[in-house]
Amino acid sequence: MISVFINIFISFCIFTGVVVLFAENGNNKFKKTNYILSVAGLAGLIIYGYGFSVVLNNPLQIIIRTVLAVLSMFLGKNEYSAIKDAPYMTSEWVCALFWLVHAAALYVTANAILASIGTKALKKFGQIKSRFYSNMVFMYGLNDDSLSLADEIIKDNKKRAVIFFDDKADASLAKKASNKGWLVLSDESEAESVIRKFVKSGRKSFQIYCVSKDDDENVFYAEKAGKILSEYKNTDSAITIIADMKTTDGGQFQSAFDSVQILDHPYLTARSLVHSYPPCDIMEFNACGEAQNDFHAVIVGFGKTGQAVFKNLFQNAQFPDRVFRADIFDPQFDNISGFIKKSCPSLMENFIEPQINTYSYSSGNEKFFDRIEEIKNEKPYIVVCTGDKAGNHEIAREILSLTGLPVYECSKDKIICSRPGKTEECSIFRRELLDADIADSTAMIFNQIYTDKSQLDNKEEQLKNWEKCDYFSRMSNRAAADFIPVYRKMIGKALLTGEISEDLKLRMAKQEHLRWSAFHLAFGYSTMSESEFKRRAEMYKKDSSVKIQKNTADHTHACLIPWDDLDILSEKQSEIEGKHKDYKGDDYNNIEIILEILKKEGAEV
């Protein structure tokens, strides 16, 4: 009796495996099935057509019986007894062919049925399997970008359940995801149920990426997922949302998720550009960390992507005693630059004194090429982002042929770098940019500097203080982490020898002040006026929780001043608050931490 149950169980396992196999490999099998169906149908028509023509006399009966017999083949039936007396059926080879054709027809039908059953079984199997993983990656939006991102995530750690939800998913993309063993859901209630069961169980970590092509839907779904997470709050969670950064406040999601990133396509493109091709790579530094040349950017096209590129370059290409230069070309400049001028009133004119030239003519204008020829010996950082891929490529080729310098083409989904005899491409949907955990690992260290430096190596303390950190401050800390490659190049060989001179530390501290200032200017802050500082000082005397130096509502900050003026500000604030304030010292403290981070990197390498 036991052996009977064992046989049944083994049969069940084999059958289930076959069913799932049909579903997972459906794409390839369906291509073969169409071919087999055609061959089996044609062979059946020949065999039955000839057989019935021999044994029957009525032409109408012959045609009807032939058609019905061929259709019956695909239902697992046969009309062998009806044509067995036909002369050719006495041949063993013809009989063998007869049964082979029927087997092929049955295979076609079974393939369709099993694939259908298997798809449902595979989905259920995926749901069950996901419960055994301690880490889940949930993707809202099934597209080529999210598939490649999931691939990159799984390469790092295969012990993660990957689940996609998209109620408008393309069938071919859904099949691709299923073939990789990932669960694809199209029903919203089913998706919410999977999330709820996972977080309710208190598993280790939950990452969600809202990366559909519709920004509003991404925000809407992030809010729904946030409500579920808020009910339990017993799982480490991170969310990345592709949405308009101007209108979406990341702070609204921080109560539900430990790490939050709001990114739009222009910002993601610009950040990908400076990550893949850091501005500091075109700079030369001496042994004291001093930049040997000004940074000069050329930006062709000043739409949303061009503006995001300008902001990111402004933040990541400031060097003490050097000038940030930019030439911006767009025939519609006056018509499209209104928002950036209003939202970032001090970006183009501030105490850093950048030299920014704007030109309201296109790249096809002779004056454009005159200017390019004029500055090409300065080896500018050239970015083309007109919004037209074909146009970008044409402009890049023209500039490349004229200057021989690298040209970066920026579009909504990738960066193309054109050099003499060489072209490189990189996607903007990369894990290093989209994974909030990776983006925040170093940023959390910087945040800890401002909260409690004595607990700098305490990961739990870092996470606790990070959760208290407001969204803008998190972005500021991320910007600090992004700038580490600049310091790495500034220090150069001195990092290997450990001989960090006081002159080098001073230059790095000045650099840190410039970096911090550029970030705030790029995000809409301006220098606080003397009258406003005095007004806030009076407010502080009545309420010590008031930050004299920073007005978040009006986006002003007293520290947005030259390095040499920081001592005066520190003295004034120390006198008002009755406690020591040293803004230059804060920059030096940051540099000490940066040096520790770089030394640790070197030791690991």
**DSSP states along 64-120:** HHHHHHHHHHTTT---HHHHTTSGGGGSHHHHHHHHHHHHHHHHHHHHHHHHHHHHH
Residue 264 identity (one-letter amino acid): D
Residue 329 phi/psi, 5-degree rounding, is: -115, 125
SS3 (DSSP) at 291: strand
Query: Tens of pLDDT along 436-484?
Result: 777 788 888 888 877 777 777 788 888 888 888 888 888 888 888 889 8
Distance (Å, whole) CA 386 – CA 358? 15
Encoded tokens for 386: 């007109």
DSSP label at 416?
A: E
**603 CB neighbour count, 10 Å cutoff:** 7
Q: How far is CA 63 from CA 40, 46, 58, 449, in A?
A: 18, 12, 9, 88
Distance (Å, whole) CA 263 – CA 257? 16
According to DSSP, the residues that pair with 56 across neighbouring strands are: none
Yes or no: say if 522 and 274 are a contact pair by the CB < 8 Å rule: no
Question: Which contiguous run of DSSP H or E holds residue 135?
Answer: strand 135-140
Interior CA angle at 565 toward 561 and 562, to 5°?
35
Distance (Å, whole) CA 473 – CA 457? 20
Question: Which contiguous run of DSSP H or E holds residue 594?
Answer: helix 583-604
> Strand order of the sheet with strand 324-329?
355-359, 324-329, 295-300, 381-384, 407-410, 414-419, 422-427
Name the nearest CA neighbour of 112 among 47, 36, 187.
36
Distance (Å, whole) CA 179 – CA 166? 17
Encoded tokens for 47: 């065999």
Name the nearest CA neighbour of 383 among 303, 461, 263, 292.
303
- Report CA dihedral (327, 329, 332, 333) to the nearest 10 degrees: -10
pTM of the full structure: 0.78
Distance (Å, whole) CA 168 – CA 162? 18
Encoded tokens for 349: 């004119």
**113 CB neighbour count, 10 Å cutoff:** 12
DSSP label at 352?
A: T
Distance (Å, whole) CA 72 – CA 120? 27
Residue 2: its pLDDT value, please? 54
SS3 (DSSP) at 375: helix
SS3 (DSSP) at 249: coil
Distance (Å, whole) CA 169 – CA 144? 11
pLDDT averaged per 10 residues, the chain (length 605): 51 50 47 70 80 81 81 79 79 83 76 54 50 77 91 77 87 83 85 82 79 92 89 79 89 86 92 93 88 95 96 94 96 94 94 94 91 94 94 94 95 91 90 80 82 78 84 88 88 72 90 95 96 95 93 95 96 94 92 82 47
Residue 103 identity (one-letter amino acid): A
**Helices (H), ranges, 180-214:** 188-200
Residue 398: its pLDDT value, please? 94
Encoded tokens for 354: 């950048």
According to DSSP, the residues that pair with 483 across neighbouring strands are: none
Distance (Å, whole) CA 385 – CA 174? 32
> Strand order of the sheet with strand 161-165?
183-185, 161-165, 135-140, 205-210, 236-242, 259-263
Residue 604: its pLDDT value, please? 40
Distance (Å, whole) CA 405 – CA 363? 16
Residue 245 identity (one-letter amino acid): M
Distance (Å, whole) CA 583 – CA 589? 10
Non-local CB neighbours of 36 within 8 Å, separated by 6+ positions: 104, 107, 108
Residue 589 burial class via C-beta count within 10 angstroms: exposed 0-12, middle 13-18, buried 19 and up: middle
Residue 543 phi/psi, 5-degree rounding, is: -145, 105
β-pair type (414-419, 135-140)? unpaired
Name the nearest CA neighbour of 590 among 448, 461, 472.
448
- Report CA dihedral (334, 337, 342, 346) to the nearest 10 degrees: -100
Distance (Å, whole) CA 220 – CA 225? 9
- Report CA dihedral (47, 48, 51, 53) to the nearest 10 degrees: -120
Distance (Å, whole) CA 154 – CA 137? 9
DSSP string over 261-275: EEE-HHHHHHHHHHH
According to DSSP, the residues that pair with 342 across neighbouring strands are: none
Name the nearest CA neighbour of 380 among 403, 360, 397.
403
